[in-house]
């Protein structure tokens, strides 16, 4: 399904100006959210992050219009078995040739919804450390921009090596993130995740994890980690809005018993409850 200009149409095809800077330069942002029971999980946080990123880039963004697009698509999934991934895309719109942003941008906003497999939530993952460095020196690295080519290449590399996802270190050799999510490591009662300054996107579920840690008996900390330090963790997991909390069972040749770690189980249960409350559904619908 596609939302465009206040209308939902079947499929994903609609006219697009071929000088749109999102298409020609990757000049824009996107957001991916989970919808259950006709409601978007953590809706306010998704909209706030998209609007904040747009402000950073100087792209006009209307929170109410973004909310209307997300909700219109989410409401198509009110059936008992419906679970939707909603992607909202905002570009700077069309413009003349060249890199300089137009003085008066006319942004393009559209959103799509597609079925999201329930089995992807809380599913185990194996990570492949890629040699592609996350550019922590770039302001764009902390925004969910349309330029994902490094992640695309790393995903192909991981798949070719028999792994599910890639793991990025930054230009200083510090752990940054996975190709499509934030990373967390458990060291005793410490729940550690790399700081945003290390080239990390401020993930929506990442923020939830930091907020839920205390009630799960953990001390949440943002701390730089080298890859050897990460490999020494008791458990590692990835978070994003569709996988939710994915226990990591291997990073390269190093195995982890993350799915069996009691703290991972507590955090998974707490996140499941938070999403169920946000969407007004039973916990068993979350995954």
| Cβ-based burial of 258 (10 A; exposed 0-12, middle 13-18, buried ≥19) | buried
pLDDT (tens digit per residue) in 119-161: 999 999 999 999 999 999 999 999 999 999 999 999 999 999 9
Mean pLDDT (the chain) is: 96
> Which whole number is the average pLDDT over 21-30?
97
Q: What is residue 82's predicted lDDT score, i.e. its pLDDT? A: 86
Residues above pLDDT 70, as percent of the chain? 99
Q: What is residue 166's predicted lDDT score, i.e. its pLDDT? A: 98
Q: What distance in Å separates the CA atoms of residue 219 and residue 221, rounded to the nearest whole number?
A: 6
Q: Is 41 helix (H, G, I), strand (E, B) or coil?
A: coil
Task: Give me the domains of the chain, ranges plus CATH numbers.
Answer: 2-116 (3.30.470.10), 125-281 (3.20.10.10)
> Which whole number is the average pLDDT over 15-37?
96
160: left (phi over 0), alpha (psi -120 to 50) or beta: alpha
Alpha helices in 75-222 (DSSP H): 149-160, 204-212
Q: What is residue 133's predicted lDDT score, i.e. its pLDDT? A: 98
> Which whole number is the average pLDDT over 5-30?
94
Q: What is residue 164's predicted lDDT score, i.e. its pLDDT? A: 98
pLDDT (tens digit per residue) in 99-117: 999 999 999 999 999 999 9
User: With contact defined as beta carbons under 8 Å apart, do 34 and 40 qualify?
Assistant: yes
CB atoms within 10 A of CB 179: 25
Q: What distance in Å separates the CA atoms of residue 20 and residue 140, rounded to the nearest whole number?
A: 19
Q: What is residue 77's predicted lDDT score, i.e. its pLDDT? A: 80
pLDDT higher than threshold 70 for residue 232: yes
The pTM assigned to this predicted structure is 0.96
User: With contact defined as beta carbons under 8 Å apart, do 258 and 249 qualify?
Assistant: yes
Q: What distance in Å separates the CA atoms of residue 203 and residue 207, rounded to the nearest whole number?
A: 6
Q: What is residue 79's predicted lDDT score, i.e. its pLDDT? A: 63
Q: What is residue 81's predicted lDDT score, i.e. its pLDDT? A: 56
């Amino acid at each position: 399904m596609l939302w465009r200009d206040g209308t939902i149409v079947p499929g994903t095809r609609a006219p697009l100006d071929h000088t749109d800077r999102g298409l020609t330069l990757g000049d824009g942002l996107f957001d991916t959210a989970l919808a259950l029971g006709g409601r978007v999980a953590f809706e306010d946080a998704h909209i706030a992050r998209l609007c904040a990123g747009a402000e950073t880039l100087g792209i006009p963004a209307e929170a109410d219009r973004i909310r209307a697009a997300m909700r219109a698509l989410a409401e198509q999934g009110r059936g008992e078995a419906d679970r939707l991934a909603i992607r909202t895309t905002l570009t700077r719109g069309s413009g003349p040739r060249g890199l300089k942003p137009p003085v008066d941008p006319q942004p393009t906003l559209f959103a799509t919804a597609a079925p999201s497999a329930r089995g992807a939530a809380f599913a185990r993952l194996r990570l492949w450390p890629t040699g592609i460095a996350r550019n922590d020196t770039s302001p764009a690295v902390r925004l969910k921009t349309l330029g994902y080519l490094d992640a695309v290449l790393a995903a192909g590399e991981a798949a070719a090596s028999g792994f599910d996802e890639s793991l990025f270190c930054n230009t200083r050799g510090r752990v940054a993130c996975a190709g499509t999510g934030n990373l967390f490591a458990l060291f005793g009662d410490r729940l550690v995740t790399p700081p945003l300054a290390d080239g990390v996107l401020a993930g929506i579920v990442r923020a939830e994890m930091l907020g839920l840690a205390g009630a799960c008996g953990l001390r949440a900390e943002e701390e730089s980690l080298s890859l050897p330090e990460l490999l020494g963790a008791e458990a590692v997991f990835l978070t994003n809005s569709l996988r939710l909390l994915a226990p990591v069972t291997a990073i390269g040749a190093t195995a982890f018993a993350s799915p069996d770690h009691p703290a991972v189980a507590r955090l998974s249960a707490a996140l499941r409850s938070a999403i169920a409350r946000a969407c007004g559904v039973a916990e068993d619908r979350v995954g």
